[in-house]
């Protein structure tokens, strides 16, 4: 018996921090699903299993639900078995599985509506669906009961959804699944879903394939065998598992299939040393592997660039990042003056220079040890308090981002005034 | 720069050449009347120093003498503190300019024409305007150090090079326009989004964003609430479905139980109906049996009654017969006795009539006797009454008064006497002794006039109570009076007593008391006689109350006798028989009558006894006949009853009926026992249980249906809500909100930071100015104090070196505009002095005061002079004034000296 084990498609998931591109990111997943179904057909798989969380939520819009069903209907030769997970539990009327079209699906689409065994290609699927978002119960316990009831030969594959019960790595009410649940229930394989990265347990009998299409820059722990992720490296592509169970009692043959169409990459850029920085970015972004159309990029800008550098960087980034599928520029820079600017400023605009010094001093004062009046020659705590009071504000509300903004505003306005 | 000398020719009023004395480095006073050209002198010098010689502007033309086209010529000698220069300049006609430098008493030409102008301008610190004549702002420090007569009492602004230089020199700080613009820009940025109070500005971009954000968040809250509700519903749905399952079980169970009980109750009901029917049948059988028994008993009783009745009837008939016989006998005896009684009765009646005649005659005799007696008595009494009436008439003429009253009157008479005696003793006593016999008269109130016979030689005494008038013949009248009070009182008492006595006597019809006493004695005698007479009459009257009673009795007896006589005349006996004979006959008749009456009574008693016996017999006879008749009737009833019974039971008779009824009763009893055995033990409770079960089933069913209905509705609602895509809507809203929030946050942060920066910049600017302004303010305050004599006040400047106020501190100072004109002039002078002093540190300076302080009163003038003298030690001062008296005794007095034309020379 041979099948595709997928999980955590999370169709309809939100990507709020991508603003206008969130819709595009959402739209990628149905395409990935289509490709995966094509792959199942190509592999002549006996089944296409979704081990929970096909949808991000029970209340995703109907059009999406119909679109997904239309996809399954487009592959009538691929039997689909869907297990409700914690994101789309079978929780009564109003949930996806109780609404059309999944309420009365076509013959080749099966929704596991209760714990049950289901014969497939000489073997068995034993499914334990979730009926609520949270539960401290181990959903695999039902599989052990089912296994006792099933008579007959053939390999047995369990299907359920929950957190591998790793000490201190899971929430007690997040459907904990025993780490040797497959062996315990006498299963040849347990198709698990929930966490979004590839994981293998129970001597290779219990597999969590992760999400087929990644949804974040921080993939958490990297998949087994991979080197620990470092900032600036690409996250893993999404995967499903191609599972082959030759016979009852035989070890399963599990092959990860890369399905994800987007890579999620997070990069850092230290702006003051712009030339070096640009060289490094060019290397990373325009190497042979570069695939901007299929990359989601997060660029964190750091350092204290002066206006000139900042302008140069902005111009370059506008050009260089335009082609990316989606991007986030996380600007953590601190605007600064160049040496020449600083000198000229001190010479010609002593008061403004003084104010700039004040900002540095106040930022240090507020950001650093607040209780301790600084020795810096700039603004004193008392003066800061007085100024804030004059503005009917509390100086304690002036956080790091306030000072950064203040610097930015000052630089920008100064530039406009002097030009 | 300081001035050394000025010379003019062909300038305004100075058509001819004129020249000042050399100016002192200290205080110089140029005193002249107005219109004598003091100001012209200085103005022309300024034109020479700062305007190009080639200038032809109106200001230059104004230097020409009125109505001429002569070229004005000005020569100014000045010094920069190290060297002395001389500038010769002619405008308009033959215009030219030459600058010399003094070199040991001779002048070296330094430059000519434009070059000379430029050099001069450099030395004087002036500026060239773009076109036209120079204005004060081009005159370098003189702009601030030349107080012009026509200038308003305000400080010139610090713009331009000279202003900046002065300010830089004074405050040693550059006013940075960039900083000002930056502050304005930052403030503007802040105010795009916020009001001055820090509130979000309406119609500002932040306000708009916040509004959009709020709308989105409200929508999100709605969607999220919908989602939450759906989730709650799903949870409730699971719970309710389980409850519904339990309810369905209950519904079925209760229905079955109800059906079972309905059937059981129905069976029990029919069995109990059967039992009731059989019980009724048994009761009827019992009743029939008892009726038969009752009839048997009744027949037996009737038959024995019939036998007894017959015997009684015979006895009753015998008795009736006996009684009727006795009756007849009694009736016969009674008739006889009654007959005999009637004979005796007739004899009695006859005797009675005879007896009545005798008695009448007896009564007439007695009446006649009594009447005679009474008539005699009446005569006697009438004689005594006549006597009595005579005596009573006598008595009526005498007074009637009680003994007590008489005693009182007697006492009163005694008192009068007594009083008279006393008065006589206490009153007047006159003793008269006549020589010869004489008659005299006295007159006293007591006795009136009385005549007395006096014997000669013998004294006669006269007394009176009070008043005594003596009439002596031939002599006249002597009146003697007593004045004693006691006599007066007694006299009065006597009068009163007399009046009282007289009144009482009048009342009694007497005049004198003695008469009264006599009448009273007579009356007492008469009263005793009357009493005796009345007593006598009373005794005679005896049983009669009065004579009238007696007379009435006599009349009545006469009438009674008359009647008796009438009745006798009607009777049959003779009238005038002997009463004793009559009495004897009467007694005889009485005896006969009594014996006859006794006989009659005995007859009557016998008859009465017989009647009573007859009545008793008749009653007994009636009873006996009634008894006999009753028995006969009863016999008929008994006969009928027996006949009826025999008819009712017919052939079989009573015994057969009794047997049949007994058989039926036993059968009915057996059937009832059988039916009772078939009835369930708790059959009576079954209908109640059945009703309960039916109700329970109905309730459970209704509850189940209601819940199922609710659940179906809920399911419909959940399906509807589930298909609304709430999550997707929420996601999109969150995405929009994230964008808006970021945008609004950034805007808010940027605007807030801009505001803060503006505040910070303002603070730093203020601080910088305050730091450099302090020494200048100090110096200015000192100068102003010197000038005004009020050293406690400080003068405050703003960052533009404008005076903001005067007072103890910056906030409470009096604004410059609010100061008096004099104070303003003084303050400006102090400011000029301060400026001059500051500038003089680097180069000597001239301070020109053209008729300033005109508003300063003379008392302060001394302080002004002190001030100017003190200032003049470090600054050259040129005072132009039309009040020379105010400046007497200070500085060097300048005079204008005419000079010849050729002496002035002509610049090439
Ligand atoms: Mn999950």
Per-residue model confidence as pLDDT tens digits over B251-294: 999 999 999 999 989 988 888 898 999 999 999 989 988 988 88
Q: Are residues A64 and A209 in the same domain?
A: yes
Which of A276, A310, A331 represents a domain boundary (last residue)?
A: A331
Number of domains, chain A: 3
Grade residue A90 by pLDDT with cuts at 50, 70 and 90. very high
Handedness of CA B640, B645, B648, B653 (dihedral sign): negative
Higher pLDDT, B903 or A163: A163
Q: How far apart are CA B392 and CA B840, in angstroms?
A: 180
* Assigned domain for B736 exists: no
Output the pLDDT for position A37: 96
In chain A, residues with a C-beta closer than 8 Å to the C-beta of B729 are: 61
In chain B, residues with a C-beta closer than 8 Å to the C-beta of A351 are: 176, 179, 761, 764-765, 768
Task: Average the pLDDT over B39-58 and give the result.
Answer: 88
Output the pLDDT for position B574: 54
Could you tell me if B220 and B737 are in contact, meaning their C-beta atoms sit under 8 angstroms apart?
Answer: yes
Q: Considering chain A, what is the average pLDDT of its residues?
A: 86
Q: Considering chain B, what is the average pLDDT of its residues?
A: 84
Q: What is the 8-class DSSP label of residue B57? A: S
Smallest CA–CA distance, residue A293 to chain B, in Å, is 22
Task: Average the pLDDT over A334-355 and give the result.
Answer: 83
Q: Are residues A152 and A44 in the same domain?
A: yes
- Tell which residue, A221, A183, A176, A222, has the closest CA to residue A204: A183
Q: How far apart are CA B836 and CA B144, in angstroms?
A: 9
Domain that holds residue B436: 403-537
Q: Is the predicted pLDDT of residue A219 greater than 60, yes or no?
A: no
Q: Are residues A199 and A214 in the same domain?
A: yes
Higher pLDDT, A128 or A419: A128
Q: Is the predicted pLDDT of residue B173 greater than 70, yes or no?
A: no
Preceding peptide of A101 cis, ω within 30°: yes
Output the pLDDT for position A365: 72
Grade residue B175 by pLDDT with cuts at 50, 70 and 90. low
Global pTM?
Answer: 0.53
User: Across the interface, do B719 and A413 touch by the CB < 8 Å criterion?
Assistant: no
pLDDT tens per residue across span A59-79: 999 999 999 999 999 999 999
pLDDT tens per residue across span B477-516: 888 877 777 777 877 888 888 888 888 888 877 788 888 8
* Assigned domain for B542 exists: no
pLDDT tens per residue across span A143-154: 988 988 887 788
Which residues, other chains included, contact B326 with Cβ-Cβ below 8 Å and sequence gap of 6+?
B617
Q: Are residues A113 and A162 in the same domain?
A: yes
pLDDT tens per residue across span B404-456: 888 888 888 888 888 877 777 777 778 888 888 888 888 887 778 888 888 88
A175 CA to middle of ligand 1, Å?
9
Choose the closest CB to A60 out of B727, B735, B752: B727
Smallest CA–CA distance, residue B728 to chain A, in Å, is 5
Grade residue B577 by pLDDT with cuts at 50, 70 and 90. low
Tokens standing for residue B345 = 């009765």
Q: Is the predicted pLDDT of residue B111 greater than 80, yes or no?
A: yes
Higher pLDDT, B421 or B595: B595
Grade residue B382 by pLDDT with cuts at 50, 70 and 90. confident
Q: Is the predicted pLDDT of residue B139 greater than 90, yes or no?
A: no
Q: Is the predicted pLDDT of residue B174 greater than 80, yes or no?
A: no
Q: What is the 8-class DSSP label of residue A122? A: T
* Assigned domain for B436 exists: yes
Say what percent of chain B tops pLDDT 70: 95
Q: Are residues A372 and A402 in the same domain?
A: yes
Rg of chain A, C-alpha, whole Å: 28
Q: How far apart are CA B806 and CA B177, in angstroms?
A: 27
Q: How many CA atoms lie within 13 A of B462 on its CB side?
A: 26
| Beta pairing partners, A234 | A265
Choose the closest CB to B738 out of A16, A393, A398: A16
Q: Are residues A83 and A103 in the same domain?
A: yes
Task: Average the pLDDT over B882-892 and give the result.
Answer: 84
Q: Is the predicted pLDDT of residue B744 greater than 80, yes or no?
A: yes
User: Across the interface, do A413 and B723 touch by the CB < 8 Å criterion?
Assistant: no
Task: Average the pLDDT over B347-363 and give the result.
Answer: 82
Output the pLDDT for position B702: 93
Q: Are residues A202 and A57 in the same domain?
A: yes
- The SS3 call for residue B432 is strand
Q: How far apart are CA B320 and CA A261, in angstroms?
A: 156
* Assigned domain for B526 exists: yes
Burial environment of residue B193 by CB neighbours within 10 A (0 to 12, 13 to 18, 19 or more): buried
- Tell which residue, A256, A260, A133, A143, has the closest CA to residue A199: A256
Which of A314, A331, A348 represents a domain boundary (last residue)?
A: A331
Q: Is the predicted pLDDT of residue B908 greater than 50, yes or no?
A: no
Smallest CA–CA distance, residue A31 to chain B, in Å, is 19
In chain A, residues with a C-beta closer than 8 Å to the C-beta of B722 are: 58-59, 93-96, 98-99
B35: left (phi over 0), alpha (psi -120 to 50) or beta: left
User: Across the interface, do A406 and B724 touch by the CB < 8 Å criterion?
Assistant: no
Q: Is the predicted pLDDT of residue B391 greater than 60, yes or no?
A: yes
Q: How far apart are CA A99 and CA B723, in angstroms?
A: 7
* Assigned domain for B481 exists: yes
Q: How far apart are CA A40 and CA B884, in angstroms?
A: 120
Higher pLDDT, B823 or A105: A105
Output the pLDDT for position B799: 67
A329 phi and psi angles, rounded to 5 deg? -105, 115
Q: Is the predicted pLDDT of residue B212 greater than 90, yes or no?
A: yes
Higher pLDDT, A43 or B361: A43
Question: According to the per-residue pLDDT averaged within each range, which of A392-401, B287-296, B437-446, B566-575 is highest?
Answer: B287-296
Output the pLDDT for position B907: 43
Q: Are residues A278 and A254 in the same domain?
A: no
Tokens standing for residue B603 = 């007859």
Q: Are residues A45 and A111 in the same domain?
A: yes
Task: Average the pLDDT over B128-143 and give the result.
Answer: 82
Choose the closest CB to B734 out of A16, A60, A351: A16
Tokens standing for residue A167 = 């000490």
Grade residue A231 by pLDDT with cuts at 50, 70 and 90. very low
Stretch among A102-106, B108-112, B147-151, B750-754 having the lowest mean pLDDT: B147-151
Tokens standing for residue B143 = 């702009």
In chain A, residues with a C-beta closer than 8 Å to the C-beta of B753 are: 402, 405-406, 408-410
Extract the runs of DSSP E, i.e. beta strands, from B682-819. Answer: 794-797, 803-807
Q: Are residues A382 and A282 in the same domain?
A: no
Which of A331, A354, A386 represents a domain boundary (last residue)?
A: A331
Domain that holds residue A345: 339-418
Q: How far apart are CA B56 and CA B132, in angstroms?
A: 8
Task: Average the pLDDT over B595-607 and give the result.
Answer: 89
Q: How far apart are CA A252 and CA A191, in angstroms?
A: 11
A198 CA to middle of ligand 1, Å?
13
Q: Are residues A48 and A157 in the same domain?
A: yes
In chain A, residues with a C-beta closer than 8 Å to the C-beta of B235 are: 91
Output the pLDDT for position B82: 86
Output the pLDDT for position A272: 74
Q: Are residues A158 and A214 in the same domain?
A: yes
Number of domains, chain B: 1
Tokens standing for residue B33 = 């009347």
Higher pLDDT, B856 or A139: A139
Element spanning B80, H or E: none
User: Across the interface, do B182 and A417 touch by the CB < 8 Å criterion?
Assistant: yes
Q: Is the predicted pLDDT of residue A197 greater than 90, yes or no?
A: no
What CATH number does residue A21 fall under? 3.60.21.10
Could you tell me if A351 and A417 are in contact, meaning their C-beta atoms sit under 8 angstroms apart?
Answer: no
* Assigned domain for B609 exists: no
Task: Average the pLDDT over B783-811 and give the result.
Answer: 80
Could you tell me if A46 and A121 are in contact, meaning their C-beta atoms sit under 8 angstroms apart?
Answer: yes
Smallest CA–CA distance, residue A18 to chain B, in Å, is 8
Q: Is the predicted pLDDT of residue A229 greater than 50, yes or no?
A: no
Extract the runs of DSSP E, i.e. beta strands, from B140-271. Answer: 146-147
């Amino acid at each position: 018996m041979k099948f595709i084990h997928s999980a955590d498609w999370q169709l309809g998931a939100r990507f709020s921090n991508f603003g206008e591109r969130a819709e595009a990111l959402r739209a990628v997943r149905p395409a990935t699903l289509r490709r995966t179904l094509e792959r199942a057909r190509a592999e002549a798989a006996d089944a296409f299993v979704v081990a929970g969380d096909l949808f991000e939520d029970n209340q995703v819009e109907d059009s999406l639900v119909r679109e997904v069903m239309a996809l399954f209907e487009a592959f009538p030769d691929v039997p689909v078995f869907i297990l409700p997970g914690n994101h789309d539990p079978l929780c009564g009327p109003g949930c996806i599985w109780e609404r059309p079209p999944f309420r009365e699906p076509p013959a080749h689409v099966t929704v596991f509506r209760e714990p049950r065994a289901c014969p497939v290609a000489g073997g068995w699927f034993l499914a334990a669906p979730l009926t609520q978002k949270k539960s401290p119960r181990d959903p695999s316990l039902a599989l052990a009961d089912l296994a006792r009831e099933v008579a007959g030969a053939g390999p047995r594959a369990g299907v359920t959804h929950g957190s591998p019960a790793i000490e201190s790595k899971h929430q007690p009410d997040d459907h904990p699944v025993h780490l040797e649940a497959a062996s315990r229930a006498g299963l040849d394989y347990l198709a698990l879903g929930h966490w979004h990265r590839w994981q293998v347990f129970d001597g290779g009998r219990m597999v969590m394939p992760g999400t087929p299409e990644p949804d974040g820059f921080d993939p958490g722990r990297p998949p087994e065998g991979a080197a620990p992720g470092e900032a600036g490296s690409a996250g893993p592509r999404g995967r499903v598992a191609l599972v082959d169970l030759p016979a009852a009692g035989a070890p399963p043959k599990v092959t990860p299939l890369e399905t994800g169409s987007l890579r999620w990459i997070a990069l850092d850029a230290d702006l003051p040393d712009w030339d070096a920085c640009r060289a490094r970015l060019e290397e990373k972004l325009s190497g042979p592997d570069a695939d901007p159309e299929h990359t989601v990029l997060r660029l964190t800008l750091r350092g204290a660039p002066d206006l000139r550098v900042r302008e140069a960087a902005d111009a370059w980034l506008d050009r260089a990042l335009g082609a990316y599928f989606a991007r986030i520029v996380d600007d953590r820079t601190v605007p600064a003056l160049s040496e020449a600017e600083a000198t000229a400023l001190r010479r010609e605009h002593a008061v403004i220079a003084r104010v700039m010094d004040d900002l540095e001093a106040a930022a240090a004062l507020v950001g650093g040890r607040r209780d301790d009046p600084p020795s810096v020659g700039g603004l004193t705590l008392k003066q800061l308090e007085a100024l804030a009071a004059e503005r009917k504000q509390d100086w304690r509300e002036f956080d790091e981002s306030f000072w950064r903004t203040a610097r930015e505003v000052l630089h920008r306005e100064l530039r406009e005034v002097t030009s | 720069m300081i001035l050394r000398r000025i010379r003019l020719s062909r300038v305004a009023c100075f058509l001819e050449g004129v020249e000042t004395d050399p100016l002192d480095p200290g205080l110089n006073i140029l005193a002249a009347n107005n219109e004598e050209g003091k100001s012209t002198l200085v103005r022309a010098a300024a034109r020479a120093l700062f305007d190009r010689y080639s200038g032809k502007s109106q200001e230059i033309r104004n230097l020409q003498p009125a109505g001429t086209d002569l070229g004005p010529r000005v020569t100014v000698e000045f010094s920069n503190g190290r060297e002395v220069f001389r500038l010769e300049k002619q405008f308009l006609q033959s215009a030219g300019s030459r600058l010399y430098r003094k070199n040991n008493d001779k002048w070296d030409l330094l430059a000519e024409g434009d070059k000379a102008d430029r050099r001069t301008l450099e030395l004087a610190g002036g500026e060239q305007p773009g076109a036209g004549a120079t204005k004060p702002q081009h005159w370098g420090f003189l702009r601030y150090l030349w107080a012009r007569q026509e200038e308003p009492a305000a400080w010139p602004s610090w713009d331009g090079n000279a202003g900046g230089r002065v300010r830089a020199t004074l405050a040693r700080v550059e006013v940075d326009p960039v900083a000002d613009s930056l502050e304005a820009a930052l403030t503007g940025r802040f105010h795009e989004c916020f009001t001055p109070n820090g509130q979000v500005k309406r119609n500002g971009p932040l306000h708009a964003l916040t509004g959009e954000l709020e709308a989105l968040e409200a929508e999100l809250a709605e969607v999220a609430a919908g989602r939450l509700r759906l989730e709650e519903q799903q949870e409730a749905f699971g719970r309710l479905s389980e409850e519904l399952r339990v309810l369905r079980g209950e519904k079925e169970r209760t229905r079955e139980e109800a059906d079972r009980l309905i059937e059981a109750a129905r069976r029990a009901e029919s069995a109990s109906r059967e039992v009731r029917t059989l019980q009724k049948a048994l009761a009827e059988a019992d009743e029939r049996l008892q009726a038969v028994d009752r009839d048997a008993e009744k027949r037996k009783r009737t038959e024995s009654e019939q036998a007894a009745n017959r015997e009684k009837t015979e006895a009753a008939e015998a008795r009736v017969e006996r009684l009727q016989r006795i009756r007849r006998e009694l009736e016969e005896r009674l008739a006889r006795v009654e007959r005999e009684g009637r004979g005796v009765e007739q004899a009695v009646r006859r005797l009675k009539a005879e007896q009545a005649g005798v008695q009448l005659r007896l009564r007439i005799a007695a009446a006649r006797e009594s009447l005679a007696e009474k008539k005699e008595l009446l005569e006697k009494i009438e004689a005594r009454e006549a006597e009595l009436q005579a005596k009573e008439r006598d008595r009526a003429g005498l007074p009637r008064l009680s003994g007590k009253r008489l005693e009182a009157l007697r006492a009163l008479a005694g008192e009068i006497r007594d009083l008279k005696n006393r008065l006589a003793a206490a009153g007047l006593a006159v003793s008269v002794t006549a020589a010869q016999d004489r008659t005299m008269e006295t007159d006293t109130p007591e006795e009136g006039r009385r005549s007395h016979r006096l014997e000669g030689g013998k004294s006669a005494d006269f007394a009176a109570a009070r008043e005594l008038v003596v009439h002596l013949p031939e002599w006249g009248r002597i009146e003697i009076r007593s004045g004693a009070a006691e006599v007066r009182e007694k006299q009065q008492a006597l009068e009163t007593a007399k009046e009282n006595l007289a009144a009482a006597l009048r009342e009694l019809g007497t005049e004198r008391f003695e008469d009264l006493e006599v009448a009273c004695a007579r009356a007492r005698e008469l009263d005793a006689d009357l009493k005796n007479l009345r007593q006598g009459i009373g005794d005679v009257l005896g049983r009669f109350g009065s004579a009238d009673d007696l007379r009435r009795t006599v009349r009545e007896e006469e009438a009674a006798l008359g009647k008796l006589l009438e009745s006798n005349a009607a009777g049959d006996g003779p009238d005038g028989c002997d009463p004793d004979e009559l009495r004897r006959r009467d007694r005889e008749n009485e005896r006969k009558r009594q014996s006859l009456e006794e006989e009659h009574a005995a007859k009557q008693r016998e008859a009465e006894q017989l009647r009573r016996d007859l009545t008793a017999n008749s009653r007994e006879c009636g009873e006996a006949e009634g008894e006999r008749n009753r028995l006969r009737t009863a016999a008929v009833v008994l006969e009928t009853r027996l006949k009826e019974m025999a008819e009712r039971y017919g052939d079989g008779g009573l015994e057969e009926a009794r047997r049949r009824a007994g058989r039926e009763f036993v059968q009915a009893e057996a059937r009832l026992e059988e039916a009772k055995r078939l009835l369930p033990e708790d059959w009576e409770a079954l209908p109640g249980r059945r009703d309960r079960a039916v109700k329970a089933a109905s309730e459970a069913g209704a509850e189940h249906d209601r819940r199922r209905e609710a659940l179906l509705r809920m399911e419909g609602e959940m399906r509807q809500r589930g298909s609304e895509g709430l999550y997707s809507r929420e996601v999109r809203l969150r995405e929009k909100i994230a964008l808006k929030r970021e945008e609004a946050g950034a805007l808010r942060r940027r605007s807030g930071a801009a505001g803060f920066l503006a505040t910070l910049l303002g603070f730093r600017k203020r601080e910088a100015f305050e730091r450099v302004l302090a020494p200048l303010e100090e110096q200015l305050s000192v100068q102003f104090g010197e000038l005004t004599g009020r050293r406690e006040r400080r003068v405050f400047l703003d960052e533009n070196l404008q005076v903001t106020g005067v007072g103890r501190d910056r906030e409470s100072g009096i604004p410059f505009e609010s100061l008096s004109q004099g104070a303003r002039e003084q303050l400006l002078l102090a400011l000029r002095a301060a400026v001059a002093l500051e500038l003089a540190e680097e180069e000597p300076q001239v301070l020109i005061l053209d008729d300033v302080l005109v508003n300063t009163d003379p008392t302060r003038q001394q302080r002004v002079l002190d001030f100017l003298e003190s200032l003049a030690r470090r600054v050259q001062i040129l005072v132009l004034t039309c009040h020379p008296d105010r400046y007497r005794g200070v500085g060097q007095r300048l005079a204008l000296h005419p000079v010849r034309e050729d002496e002035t020379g002509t610049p090439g």
